[in-house]
Amino acid sequence: MEVVSTNPWIQSPERDAERAEEAAAAPSVTRVTPVLPALGPQASAVSAPAHAFPRRSVDPAAPPVALWWVGAHGGAGESTLEQLLEGSRANGHAWPHTDERTTALPPVILVARTSARGLRAAQLAATEWAAGDVPVQLHGLVLIADAPGRLPKLLRDFAQVVGGGLPRVWRLPWVEAWRLGDPVSPETTPKAISDFLEDVRTSYIAPNSLSHP
């Protein structure tokens, strides 16, 4: 089943094919590398959704937070990620909001489950950000498996559409031990999640601002 995105910041595969044919037919021998649109807020192209995520003010007197996890819905898993990455903080289901005089935008990674409900919530948050209505530095979206086993094709296609307009998308596996009540700790963390956390540390967090859990 073909999934067609209505998000205006996601390029159409058909248009990509047309551009490739046009380039091949061009008389010039100079190869031109197409410039893709920046993956960032594009208020002129994206309309904000009617339902917006709430804002939660950041206490200016509190210790600085290296990274905020924002759950797109209940049970997304942002609290678990907070436990695994020291210095990060789960902000529940709200965008962190700083004082207007603050020049640095709060660094954020969205968190959602791979269920249809989770993906729809992530799409809503991504659309709001793309419309330019959210004053945060959004690094991407992490999708956490909502059940063991392979994700159905319908949800895989939906996840691709949702992530198409975000800077980065990570996918994390189901952890049965945590479902059964085992404590969240490095000892019970699968390698895929440890690798993800290391990627976040090295890519988005200043050296020495966090210690390894």
Domain extents in the chain: 55-204
pLDDT of residue 109: 98
The mean pLDDT of 79-95, rounded to a whole number, is 93
Question: Among 3.30.1490, 3.40.50, 2.30.170, 1.10.3470, what is the CATH number of 55-204?
Answer: 3.40.50
Other beta carbons within 10 angstroms of residue 69's beta carbon come to: 24
Which has more pLDDT, 52 or 148? 148
Report the predicted TM-score, pTM, of the whole model to 2 decimal places.
0.74
Give the pLDDT score at 7. Answer: 44
Tens-place pLDDT, residues 114-172: 999 999 999 999 999 998 888 899 999 999 999 999 999 999 999 999 999 899 999 99
Instruction: Reply yes or no on whether the pLDDT at 43 is more than 60.
Output: no
Residue 184 has pLDDT above 80, yes or no: yes
Please tell me the distance from the alpha carbon of residue 9 to that of residue 163, in angstroms, as a whole number: 11
Radius of gyration over every alpha carbon of the chain, rounded to an integer in angstroms: 19
Q: What is the mean pLDDT of residues 61-82?
A: 92
Residue 79 has pLDDT above 80, yes or no: yes
Can you tell me the distance from the alpha carbon of 111 to that of 67, in angstroms, rounded to the nearest whole number?
12
Q: What is the DSSP string of 82-142?
A: HHHSTTEEE-TTSEEE--TT--SPPEEEEEEESSHHHHHHHHHHHHHHHTT---SEEEEEE
| Mean pLDDT computed over every residue of the chain | 78
CA distance 93 to 125: 10
Query: Quick check: 44 pLDDT over 70?
Result: no
Contact 80, 184 (CB under 8 A): yes
